[in-house]
A and B are shown apart, each in its own frame.
Chain A
């Protein structure tokens, strides 16, 4: 029956990778090339959140510790602290909320600096994620893109990716060059997070609540157009990459971890059909598992 999901991706003009699993019955899954390593864009903020929460559990980090993000040094982006004209002082846990609720690049890079790439890599190993590598944050990602496009500012570099009349430079969407994961690794992380295996009860609740606060409804949630279905997710967007991973909880309480990663054929910054296809594919997958 996976052919229907594949046809949905093809009809929307996207290459799609998907993994879906019922939280209480992990043996039955829906798998569309779910072990392929794909560049994860802002989905990296989810493993970063879980890593941060683990360090809070271990007493390594104080969630109330305050950081000041200065406009001259913080990472640019379309949302959150990235937009602010003046220095912003926030606690680490509020940075985590902004990072997850609106995919705040400045907050995420600040939190990544605090957690550290090496420490995060060790945590992801301990979570059982064998195919997930957070290699760098958003700032470093933009520097890499500028190098590949030969542009000296991030907006101009992103404009190259958004132009249907230009050829995307090689390597931009190579998993090996970026933070990367597999759909099945992300559903494993979500399942272990949701069942409370990774964090204390308090941090598990914080992580779940933070994911439910995500404002974006155009991808995963668009496939479940009913308020009694709860969707907690994290999107990822970079050029033609459009992803969302999350947990869908139905009114009866049965819940499903779903990871949908896509690469669109078109370059346009705004692609509502591709966004909605993520929801449609997730809905088809969940229905297969019910």
Chain B
């Protein structure tokens, strides 16, 4: 079956003339890109690209079919926009949440979206900040709660909200419930991959390195893995989630809250009145 992804691969390869660059544009790695191209070539029954000495070049068949692929992609985008514009069942609000948004805060924002627009249907996805901002830009998401700072590139954004952020460390890591970050030494701090939000992650790492010269970091896929590593006595978790807990793991308040989780709402076309944005922002911090 021919999919939107096949068309994206076709157009990206034609424009970038390089497998790695095209994969980056589509937002996938190179193996699925090559695989997608092979499927597409099988589906249309023609070879679309030749591997030349300097890169990838369109074949005659590829050049002939490229305009159709472009047109089809434009039509799919128009379909998305038309669906948003006139939905018979009331407007759909597609909300994106960064993984750093505490579950209760994310739930409060989603609930506030539903309450703000009567008759609306709210759908929610979780994705890293860099993915959310591009989905909001392309119109796939109505709005998202993302980590700050991040490159916004023309998106509108609400005020920066600071969520207090605790350290979860193996029990007995410190004597007091309120602790200087520097005193929480020894174990590495669990951090999610940098590419998910380069600017916010660098700010976190730079602040951490300034306040805590030793101990280092360890990269984890998500908070679940981070908590498990803390339980195993292998890592410290920084979280804005007030309810995250596990046996053998203690919650410490960091003196001066030096590593707050900075969040903000972003949207491309004003979906709500400004007072609704204010309500959603309130939900984020009070939820």
Contacts and interface: CB of A to CB of B under 8 A. Distances in A.
Interface of A: 1, 3-4, 7, 9-15, 164-167, 263-268, 273
Nearest to B17: A1
22 contacts: A1-B17, A1-B18, A1-B21, A3-B16, A3-B25, A7-B24, A10-B151, A10-B198, A13-B150, A13-B151, A13-B200, A14-B151, A14-B199, A164-B149, A164-B160, A165-B162, A165-B262, A167-B264, A264-B199, A265-B151, A265-B199, A273-B202
Given A7-B24, A266-B202, A166 B153 contact: no
A15 B199 CA distance: 11
Contacts of B203: 164, 266, 268
Given A11-B198, A13-B198, A13-B199, 14 more contacts: A1-B17, A1-B21, A3-B16, A3-B24, A4-B21, A13-B149, A13-B150, A13-B202, A14-B199, A164-B203, A165-B162, A265-B150, A266-B202, A267-B149
B217 interface: no
Interface string B1-45: 000000000000000111001101100000000000000000000
Contacts of B17: 1
Max count, chain B CB within 10 A of own CB: residue among A14, A263, A265, A273? A265
A1 B200 CA distance: 27
B181 to A, nearest CB: 17
A14 B25 CA distance: 17
A15 B152 CA distance: 8
A178 B22 CA distance: 36
Nearest to A166: B160
Given A1-B16, A3-B16, A3-B25, A15 B160 contact: no
Nearest to B157: A167
Which range holds the interface residue count of chain B? 20 to 34
A52 to B, nearest CB: 35
A3 B202 contact: no
Contact of B153 (A4, A7, A15, A273): A15
A285 to B, nearest CB: 15
A164 B260 CA distance: 10
Closest 10 A/B residue pairs (Cβ): A13-B199, A265-B199, A3-B21, A265-B149, A167-B159, A13-B198, A167-B160, A266-B149, A265-B151, A15-B151
B126 interface: no
A12 B16 contact: no
A9 B150 CA distance: 12
Contacts of B120: none
A267 B200 CA distance: 11
B58 to A, nearest CB: 16
Nearest to B23: A3
A71 to B, nearest CB: 35
Contacts of A10: 130, 151, 198
Question: B16, B149, B157, B262: which has the most chain A beta carbons within 10 Å?
Answer: B149
B6 to A, nearest CB: 19
Nearest to B25: A3
Nearest to A16: B151
Contacts of A1: 16-18, 21
Contacts of B149: 13, 164, 264-267
B144 to A, nearest CB: 15
Interface in B117-167: 130, 148-153, 157, 159-160, 162
